[in-house]
Amino acid sequence: MHGLARELGERLRIVELNVNEAIGQRARAVYSNDKVPTIILLNAAGSEDYRTEGKLPRTGRIRETLVSVE
């Protein structure tokens, strides 16, 4: 994720939350995720375009998703 942040930082914002902290607990309730880690890509309107839970996908898969929603 850090590599994607460096590569695409001007086009997106990456937010990492700790589910053991209050803000992480609130986000977990809002986005209804059960597994850690969870990666959710939201578009500019706030709609979910991509989600994976319980594993880290290859950054290529995330990159493909970002390109497909542009």
How many domains does the structure of the chain reveal? 1
For residue 23, what is the domain's CATH number? 3.40.30.10
Residue entry with tokens 């880690």: 37
* Inter-residue contact 56 to 48 (CB < 8 Å): no
Q: Which domain holds residue 26?
A: 2-68
DSSP class of residue 69 equals T
Q: How far apart are CA 9 and CA 6, in angstroms?
A: 5
- Residue 60 has a pLDDT of 76
Segments in the chain below pLDDT 50: none
C-alpha radius of gyration, the chain, whole number:
12
Indicate the residue type of 46.
G
pTM: predicted TM-score of the whole model, two decimal places = 0.71
